[in-house]
Structure 1
Amino acid sequence: MKVINSVLRSHTGLIRLYFDAVYQERKYGRFNVDYETGEIFKGKK
Protein backbone atom coordinates (compact mmCIF):
# COMPACT_ATOMS: atom_id res chain seq x y z
CA MET A 1 0.00 0.00 0.00
CA LYS A 2 2.91 2.37 0.67
CA VAL A 3 4.21 1.82 -2.87
CA ILE A 4 0.81 2.58 -4.38
CA ASN A 5 0.50 5.75 -2.33
CA SER A 6 3.97 6.95 -3.32
CA VAL A 7 3.28 6.34 -7.03
CA LEU A 8 -0.06 8.13 -6.88
CA ARG A 9 1.42 11.01 -4.92
CA SER A 10 4.18 11.52 -7.47
CA HIS A 11 1.73 11.51 -10.41
CA THR A 12 -1.12 13.50 -8.84
CA GLY A 13 -0.39 16.56 -10.97
CA LEU A 14 -0.64 14.60 -14.21
CA ILE A 15 -3.84 12.89 -13.12
CA ARG A 16 -5.35 16.25 -12.13
CA LEU A 17 -4.39 17.79 -15.50
CA TYR A 18 -5.95 14.88 -17.37
CA PHE A 19 -9.28 15.09 -15.55
CA ASP A 20 -9.33 18.87 -15.81
CA ALA A 21 -8.81 18.62 -19.57
CA VAL A 22 -11.66 16.11 -19.88
CA TYR A 23 -13.92 18.36 -17.80
CA GLN A 24 -13.15 21.44 -19.88
CA GLU A 25 -13.59 19.54 -23.14
CA ARG A 26 -17.09 18.48 -22.10
CA LYS A 27 -17.96 21.94 -20.75
CA TYR A 28 -16.71 24.04 -23.65
CA GLY A 29 -16.87 21.56 -26.51
CA ARG A 30 -14.16 20.03 -28.62
CA PHE A 31 -12.17 22.07 -31.09
CA ASN A 32 -10.74 20.65 -34.27
CA VAL A 33 -6.96 20.77 -34.01
CA ASP A 34 -4.40 20.35 -36.77
CA TYR A 35 -1.81 18.33 -34.87
CA GLU A 36 0.98 19.12 -37.33
CA THR A 37 0.77 22.90 -36.93
CA GLY A 38 -1.16 23.25 -33.66
CA GLU A 39 -3.77 25.41 -35.37
CA ILE A 40 -7.27 25.31 -33.85
CA PHE A 41 -10.29 25.36 -36.16
CA LYS A 42 -13.55 26.47 -34.52
CA GLY A 43 -15.73 25.16 -37.35
CA LYS A 44 -15.54 22.01 -39.37
CA LYS A 45 -12.29 21.54 -41.22
Structure 2
Amino acid sequence: MSDGFYIKIGDKELGMLPGGILALVLGLAVAGYGAYDYTQQSAAIENSVR
Protein backbone atom coordinates (compact mmCIF):
# COMPACT_ATOMS: atom_id res chain seq x y z
CA MET A 1 0.00 0.00 0.00
CA SER A 2 1.07 3.59 -0.50
CA ASP A 3 1.96 5.90 2.37
CA GLY A 4 -0.54 8.56 1.36
CA PHE A 5 -2.54 10.14 -1.38
CA TYR A 6 -0.59 11.35 -4.41
CA ILE A 7 -1.57 12.91 -7.71
CA LYS A 8 0.83 12.01 -10.49
CA ILE A 9 1.46 14.55 -13.25
CA GLY A 10 4.01 13.27 -15.73
CA ASP A 11 6.98 12.07 -13.69
CA LYS A 12 6.16 14.26 -10.70
CA GLU A 13 4.02 13.23 -7.73
CA LEU A 14 2.09 15.84 -5.78
CA GLY A 15 1.14 15.18 -2.18
CA MET A 16 -2.28 15.77 -0.70
CA LEU A 17 -1.83 19.48 0.10
CA PRO A 18 -0.29 20.59 -3.22
CA GLY A 19 -2.73 18.35 -5.10
CA GLY A 20 -5.66 19.86 -3.23
CA ILE A 21 -4.44 23.36 -3.92
CA LEU A 22 -4.03 22.51 -7.60
CA ALA A 23 -7.58 21.11 -7.73
CA LEU A 24 -8.92 24.21 -5.96
CA VAL A 25 -7.14 26.59 -8.35
CA LEU A 26 -8.35 24.66 -11.40
CA GLY A 27 -11.91 24.62 -10.04
CA LEU A 28 -11.84 28.36 -9.41
CA ALA A 29 -10.49 28.96 -12.92
CA VAL A 30 -13.32 26.93 -14.46
CA ALA A 31 -15.93 28.68 -12.30
CA GLY A 32 -14.48 32.09 -13.16
CA TYR A 33 -14.57 31.34 -16.86
CA GLY A 34 -18.16 30.13 -16.53
CA ALA A 35 -19.19 33.36 -14.80
CA TYR A 36 -17.42 35.43 -17.46
CA ASP A 37 -19.05 33.47 -20.27
CA TYR A 38 -22.48 33.79 -18.62
CA THR A 39 -22.19 37.58 -18.46
CA GLN A 40 -21.03 37.75 -22.09
CA GLN A 41 -23.90 35.54 -23.26
CA SER A 42 -26.43 37.53 -21.22
CA ALA A 43 -25.21 40.78 -22.76
CA ALA A 44 -25.32 39.30 -26.27
CA ILE A 45 -28.89 38.07 -25.79
CA GLU A 46 -30.02 41.39 -24.34
CA ASN A 47 -28.44 43.32 -27.23
CA SER A 48 -30.03 41.04 -29.82
CA VAL A 49 -33.52 41.48 -28.36
CA ARG A 50 -33.43 45.28 -28.59
Q: Could you state the TM-score of these two structures normalised by the residue count of structure 2?
A: 0.40
Bigger relative contact order, structure 1 or 2, given CA contacts below 8 A and separation 6+?
Answer: 1
The structure that is helix-richer by fraction is: 2
Higher Cα Rg, which structure: 2
